[in-house]
Each structure stands twice: as C-alpha cells, then as structure tokens.
Amino acid sequence: MAKKSRLNSVKKRRLFIDPNHPDLSIARQCELIGLSRASYYHMPYGVASEENVRYLRLLDEQYLRTPFYGSRQMTRWLVSQGYPVNRKRVQRLMRTMGIQGTVPGPHTSRPHPTHKVYPYLLQDLTLQRANLVWSTDITYLPMAAGFMYLAAIIDWYSRYVIAWELSNTLDHLLCVSMLERVIPPTASWHMPKKRRRPSTGWRTPWSATSTPFHLVLQVLP
C-alpha cells in the first residue's frame, strides 16, 4: 500500500510541473515540490509518448524518401521542420525502428575468423516453380496509438504471402510462431555471408544458421 501511495503521489506532483513556465525551469519546479527530475522524466518501459510516436512516424516517412540519411541528417531535417530534437534522441528512435543510413560502414566485408562461412545456396539457382525460395522480413506499422511489428514470408516465384504475424514486441517469438506454422522438416535456412550474425533464442528442429529477422529459405527437393 505504501508503494502504491508513493506512486500516486509522484503522478499527482508531476501534474504541477509546467514545462513552458516563463520564469521557473523544470529543475527548479521539481525542487520546489520535492520531486526528482528523474521521476518527472521517467516513462514506464514499453510506453511510448505521443511525442515519440509522432517522431517515429516522421522518421519513417522521411526514411522512405531518403534511406541514406543517418542520425545526423535526420536530426537536421527534424530541426528544419520545427521539431527541437537532439541527435541522441533520434539515434534511440532509429534503433527502436531498426533503421540506419544505407551507406557502407567500416569493415563490413571482413568476416570474423571464428565465424563459420556457409555456402550461398541460391547461386546459379533458377526459379522455375513456387515453394522453391521464400524470404522473410520485419517492418512496423504506425497505429493511432503506438505501433505494431509485422513479420511476413513471401514466395519469390509467385510473390504470394505465405504467412504473416503481428506483435507489439520485437522478439524472436514473433518470427518463430510464424515460421513453425509453414516450414516443412526438410527445409534449410540460409543467409548471405554479409548479413549473417549469431543467433539468440532460436531453437527449432531445422537448421538455423542466422537470426530470424531477414532470412532466405530454400526448400530441398
């Protein structure tokens, strides 16, 4: 009861803070009412403010127009549109969406000496029928309040969407629940060498050679 009462007290005291006060800064207002600045700025994990959701939507729309923009260019663009944001915030929001500027990074083609290199299964492969090669990827969908993650599998030959899944969290279960409905036991996973990275939390009867976020499936005959 004491903890609940303390939380309610903090919530009520936050209402007394006027971020646009002409004379008193937020720090001074917090000091006067006995509220720490950390408590004022704290946002529970998983809860996106309306302001952040607006920034996410703006970043997503601009990224579709200029995918080569990194956090610096995105910050300058938002400021030019009248949104006073700093680069650290833009970096955090871009990490949340899983986007980055489409420019080569340092040492992107240097494989780690301890990582296994798998053969490229799609080399010289001719697509002559459906259910030969599938691919999957994840995007996010802006909602009226917040956003959802969408994972989908598409057949390369027919362009048919084999399966899809929606979730409000970005974790491996989103992909696993979708894949286990459609992948036959004779399937093997493959990812091009430059996109491969170690897998976490991925345990299935099939051979998983990379993370489930952008994979290519080749159904063996």
The set of residues, in sequence order, having a beta carbon less than 8 Å from that of 66 and lying 6+ positions away, is: 73, 77
Please give the DSSP secondary-structure letter assigned to residue 117: P
CA distance 128 to 17: 65
Q: What is the pLDDT of residue 71?
A: 93
Counting as low any pLDDT under 70, the low residues of the chain are 1-8, 43-48, 108, 184-221
pTM, entire model:
0.46
In tens, the pLDDT along 44-81 reads 555 467 888 889 889 989 998 998 899 999 999 999 99
Query: Which residue matches tokens 């491996």?
Result: 172
> What does the radius of gyration of the chain's CA atoms come to, in whole angstroms?
23
> Which phi-psi region, left, alpha or beta, contains residue 193 (left: φ > 0; alpha: ψ -120 to 50)?
alpha
Question: What are the structural domain ranges in the chain?
Answer: 13-97, 133-219
